[in-house]
Structure 1
Amino acid sequence: MTEQNQPSTFEETKTHFDSVYFYFVILFNDSIHEFSYVEDCLMKLCFKTKKDAKKIAMEAHTNGKAVCFQGSMEECETVAENMTNANLTVILGV
């Protein structure tokens, strides 16, 4: 193996590894829930810190939507189901 091939091999491996976590959950803004409720759900269901939960809630409020979780397809499906059960509006993204 030559020196020139090593970076491309590493990049190919990195890309393959990263693609496992290429799924995400998008939270949509609504006028029903209080910020504190959304932040609590983000901390409990998406495993976010209070600081990150506040940032995501504000982004959803300002832009209409925000990525609230990234992980494998199975993890994202579980988080999306739990967020839906908490009466929050989310979708899965790729």
Structure 2
Amino acid sequence: MTDQSQPIFEELTKLKSESVYDYFVILFNDSIHEFSYVEDCLMKLCFKTKREAKKIAIEAHSNGKAICFHGSMEECETVADNMTNANLTVSYGV
């Protein structure tokens, strides 16, 4: 192994470990649920504070969508499933 291969391996490992958490859950606006319900779901299912939940709910209402969770693929899949089970419209991905 040459000295030049070590930094490349470390760089690839670093990039791989950083990209594990490059997944997002996106909340979409709907006209069915009240703000308070959406905020409660964001606090309970996305682990947000009241202030963060309110900000995300307002952004989704204003822009049609908002990122509500950031984490690994498995975490995002779980959060998206829980949000869907709460009858909210979400998607997740990179």
Q: TM-score range by the shorter chain?
A: 0.7 to 0.9
Structure 1 window deviating more from structure 2 (54-63 vs 15-24): it is 15-24
1:66: how far off?
Answer: 0.3
Cα distance in structure 2, aligned partners of 1:90 and 1:73 = 14
Q: 1:61 to 1:16 in 2, by over 3 A?
A: same
1:93: how far off?
Answer: 1.9
Cα distance in structure 1, aligned partners of 2:41 and 2:15 = 31
Which residue in the other structure is 1:60 paired with? Answer: 60
Which residue in the other structure is 1:32 paired with? Answer: 32
Instruction: State the Cα RMSD in Å.
Output: 1.9
1:14-46: CA deviation from partner (whole Å, max 9, x where unpaired): 433220101110000000000000000000000
Q: What are the residue-to-residue correspondences of 1:15-26 with 2, within 5 Å?
A: 15-26=15-26
- Corresponding pairs, count: 91
The alignment's TM-score, normalised by the length of structure 1, stands at 0.85
Cα distance in structure 2, aligned partners of 1:59 and 1:10 = 38
Matching residue's letter, 1:70: H
Cα distance in structure 2, aligned partners of 1:14 and 1:56 = 30
User: What 5-or-longer segments of structure 1 have no aligned partner?
Assistant: none
User: What 5-or-longer segments of structure 2 have no aligned partner?
Assistant: none
The alignment's TM-score, normalised by the length of structure 2, stands at 0.85
Cα distance in structure 2, aligned partners of 1:55 and 1:15 = 31
Which residue in the other structure is 2:88 paired with? Answer: 88
Q: 1:12 to 1:78 in 2, by over 3 A?
A: same
1:10: how far off?
Answer: 7.4
